[in-house]
Amino acid sequence: MADKVRYSDEELQEFKQIILEKLELARRDYQQLMDSLSNKGGNGVDDTMPTYKVLEEGSMTQTKEELTTMAARQQKFIQSLQAALVRIENKTYGICRVTGKLIPKERLRAVPHATLSIEAKMARK
pLDDT recorded at residue 2: 46
pLDDT recorded at residue 89: 97
106 belongs to a structural domain: no
pLDDT recorded at residue 125: 72
CB 36 within 8 A of CB 66: no
97 belongs to a structural domain: no
pTM for the complete prediction? 0.80
Question: pLDDT digit string (tens) for 38-82?
Answer: 877 655 555 555 555 555 566 677 788 899 999 999 999 999 999
Q: What are phi and psi of 94, to 5 degrees?
A: 85, 5
Tell me the residue range of the domain where 67 lies.
9-40+51-92
Q: How many domains does the chain have?
A: 1
120 belongs to a structural domain: no
The 10 Å Cβ neighbour count of residue 45 is 7
pLDDT recorded at residue 26: 97
pLDDT recorded at residue 63: 81
23 belongs to a structural domain: yes
113 belongs to a structural domain: no
